[in-house]
Chain A
Amino acid sequence: MSKLISEKTKEVFLGPLSKNNPITVQVLGICSALAVTSKLEPALVMGISVTIIVAFSNVIISLIRNTIPNRIRIIVQLVVVAALVTVVSEILKAYAYDVSVQLSVYIGLIITNCILMGRLEAFAMSNKPWESFVDGLGNGFGYAWILVAVAFVRELLGSGSLLGFKVIPQSVYDAGYMNNGLMMMPPMALIIVACIIWIHRARNKDLQEK
């Protein structure tokens, strides 16, 4: 089973978590990073859903990659993604109704997430199923942790809570502290993502342009 954890596979998994992160380096999937990060819980569920969908659509596309007619390959990829998203959304509606209500339109919008099309086109079309699966997981987690980091800051400073639980004690509010309403606005997500990119680049000199 040495193939399962070969150097290349390891790189495929770890790359997207940092040096090749879909959000902070490739700047993909920014739209949903703005939309679902005002609270931690939807950000978590969104991260998990995207990870599952990108991993499995990678596997499916990788399995049929040699049969796909080149001229309609984007359409084929889109159909696979759309079918998976619909199945996930139907299953959530049947077995996790509360979560599906909470995420409402966001689950459907996974179809338009650029990370999915990007990974299918750039990786799954030219790699074996196992590597593609690992690549999907890596990119999914790379996307999810940025979302969670942004949501953490926004919910903490914007609502004074985490996952819906109050974490800033009432005594702090009594002393004059106020929740920052700007944190709830979409522009703040961009600013926080920009700060993460800034720190990330400062620590990884090789990401900086010469």
Chain B
Amino acid sequence: MNTNNNGYTIIYATVMVVIVALMLALVSSALKDTQTANVELDKKKQILASLNIDLEGKDAAAIYNEYIVEELVINHKAEILDSTEFCAFKIDFLKELAKAETERELPIYVAKVDGKTKYIMSMKGTGLWGPIWGYVALNEDKNSIYGSYFSHASETPGLGAEIAYKPFQKSLIDKKILGADLTFKSLLVLKPDNKPNSEYEIDGISGGTITSKAVEKMIFNCLGQYKAFYDIKVEGGAK
């Protein structure tokens, strides 16, 4: 058979592309449900990680239901828009960030750890090579940080990617986001040589300055959206 003939080449290419496309479509749709379940489970794990819960070998979905007692969706004035089950979980935070600030629906996860209330805020930002994201859990005072979680899509391993590891995430614990007058102040991520010496500063990652600064910007932008929420005193009745 002459395999160099034009007609044969075109038919060969067409058939090949159709077969491969069918095969990939089949694989993709067959695995879709498992993948979505994985993504959701992973999101739950990330939220729980900000509460410093060790999930090693445990059922994250069950622990999530145990710790997260309420989910809220608020607007920029801290008015509660929704508080039904999984209402915050269903929000696509990236889509909300694309809207004007006054129209955003902001998710808050309310957790109870040892009887104390914690508020978990979502964050999304842009790192050096791609998106970065995370969750910060605030104590009952809506000021000091109880725990944090950061992750990234493609930061440099060993450098910027270190934000996804415990040493960096633990450095946020007990830091504060509100100034002395209780207005929003955010955190500074310092260059590694400058030792953090106040409760508003954390140590950056050596060799990962751009990622460190991206984290700083993300904390400022995302936690800043909840400004009105911090003003509501717990006794005053956020709930």
* Contacts from A to B (Cβ < 8 Å): 36, 38-39, 42, 66-72, 75-76, 79-80, 83, 86-87, 90-91, 93-95, 97, 101, 104-105, 158-159, 181, 184-185
Contact = CB atoms under 8 A, between A and B. Distances in A.
Given A72-B13, A185-B207, 4 more contacts: A79-B17, A83-B24, A97-B42, A184-B159
B9 interface: yes
B28 A90 contact: yes
Contact of A101 (B4, B42, B156, B159): B42
Main secondary structure of the interface of B (DSSP, over half): helix
A178 to B, nearest CB: 11
B12 A83 contact: no
Contacts of B98: none
Contact of A67 (B12, B13, B158): B12
Contacts of B153: 104-105
B110 to A, nearest CB: 27
B158 A159 contact: yes
Given A69-B9, A70-B3, A101-B42, A94 B158 contact: no
Main secondary structure of the interface of A (DSSP, over half): helix
A151 to B, nearest CB: 10
Given A39-B157, A79-B16, A90-B27, A67 B3 contact: yes
Interface string B154-168: 101111000000000
28 contacts: A38-B158, A39-B158, A66-B3, A68-B12, A69-B5, A72-B9, A72-B12, A76-B12, A76-B13, A83-B20, A83-B24, A86-B24, A87-B23, A87-B24, A90-B28, A90-B31, A90-B35, A93-B31, A93-B38, A94-B34, A97-B38, A97-B42, A101-B42, A104-B154, A105-B154, A158-B158, A159-B158, A184-B207
A91 B30 CA distance: 10
A75 B13 contact: yes
A76 B23 CA distance: 15
Contacts of A76: 12-13, 16
B127 to A, nearest CB: 12
B38 A91 contact: no
A90 B25 CA distance: 11
A39 B164 CA distance: 14
A42 B9 contact: no
Contacts of B4: 69-71
Given A79-B17, A93-B38, A158-B158, A181 B28 contact: no
A66 B13 CA distance: 15
Contacts of B34: 94-95
Contacts of A90: 27-28, 31, 35
A105 B20 CA distance: 22
Contact of A93 (B8, B35, B41, B159): B35
B158 A184 contact: yes
Interface residues of B, number: 30
A61 B65 CA distance: 50
A91 B158 contact: no
B206 interface: yes
A90 B159 CA distance: 27
Contacts of B27: 86-87, 90-91
A80 B12 CA distance: 13
Nearest to A98: B42
A113 B12 CA distance: 25
A181 B151 CA distance: 22
A68 B16 CA distance: 10
A155 B148 CA distance: 26
A185 B154 CA distance: 16
Interface centre among B27, B154, B158, by most A CB within 10 Å?
Answer: B158
Interface centre among A36, A76, A87, by most B CB within 10 Å?
Answer: A87
A93 B30 CA distance: 12
Given A38-B157, A83-B20, A104-B153, A69 B12 contact: yes
A105 B155 CA distance: 10
B126 to A, nearest CB: 15
A67 B5 CA distance: 12
Nearest to A71: B9
